[in-house]
């Protein structure tokens, strides 16, 4: 197998005090922040919905899902639009609030190691934390996050 076949183009998605690492193929687009339309009765991490490409996509604060404070939007704030893969979300996509542009990185076995530290709630949509050179990003459980968003949209 070639070295290129063992590498995965990924994005480091900046949060307030952390980063997520996701495969590049999960991300449809990074868009400028615009305040989502909020619904009464939603969890605080569910920021609302926004119009993207003619679809109303739910927007979430990953910090909020982890039980942390919801970040204040700044001039660097963006929304990363993820492809929904479970079929549970009507729009087929969802957005995650970020604190800047994601950084493209190439990941392979040599640079990525499992890190045993945790620090998130047991029911949070996190698979694990990894050590990647001098970074310690979280690998999100995007399927679990989609299911949380689907339940939230049914309750709101």
Give pLDDT tens digits for 14-40: 999 999 999 999 999 999 999 999 888
Quick check: is 34 in a domain?
Answer: yes
DSSP assignment of 28-39 equals EEEEE----B--
Check if the beta carbon of residue 125 is closer than 8 Å to that of residue 5.
no
For 34-74, where are the E strands, in sequence order? Answer: 46-52, 55-60
Q: How many domains are contained in the chain?
A: 1
Q: How confident is the model at residue 154 (pLDDT cuts 50, 70, 90)?
A: low
Helix (H, G, I), strand (E, B) or coil at 95: strand
Share of the chain above pLDDT 90, in %: 72
What is the C-alpha to C-alpha distance for residues 29 and 52, in angstroms, rounded to an integer? 10
Q: What is the CATH number of the domain that holds 112?
A: 2.40.50.180
Which stretches within the chain are classed as H helix? 62-65, 142-155
Per the structure, the complete domain to which residue 64 belongs is given by 8-155
**What is the model's pTM?**
0.91
Quick check: is 3 in a domain?
Answer: no
């Amino acid at each position: 197998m070639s070295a290129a076949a063992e590498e995965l183009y990924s994005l480091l998605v900046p949060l307030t005090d952390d980063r997520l690492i996701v495969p590049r193929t999960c991300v449809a687009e990074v868009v400028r922040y615009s305040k989502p339309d909020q619904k009464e009765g939603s969890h605080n991490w569910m920021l609302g919905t926004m119009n993207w490409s003619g679809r109303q996509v739910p927007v979430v604060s990953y910090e909020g899902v982890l039980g942390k404070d919801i970040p204040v939007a700044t001039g660097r704030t963006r929304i990363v639009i993820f492809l929904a893969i479970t079929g549970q979300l009507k729009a087929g996509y969802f957005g995650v609030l970020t604190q800047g542009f994601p950084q493209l990185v190439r990941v392979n076995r040599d640079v990525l190691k499992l890190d045993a530290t945790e620090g998130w709630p047991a029911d949070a949509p996190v698979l694990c934390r990894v050590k990647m050179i001098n970074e310690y990003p979280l690998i999100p459980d995007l399927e679990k996050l989609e299911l949380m968003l689907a339940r939230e949209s049914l309750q709101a």
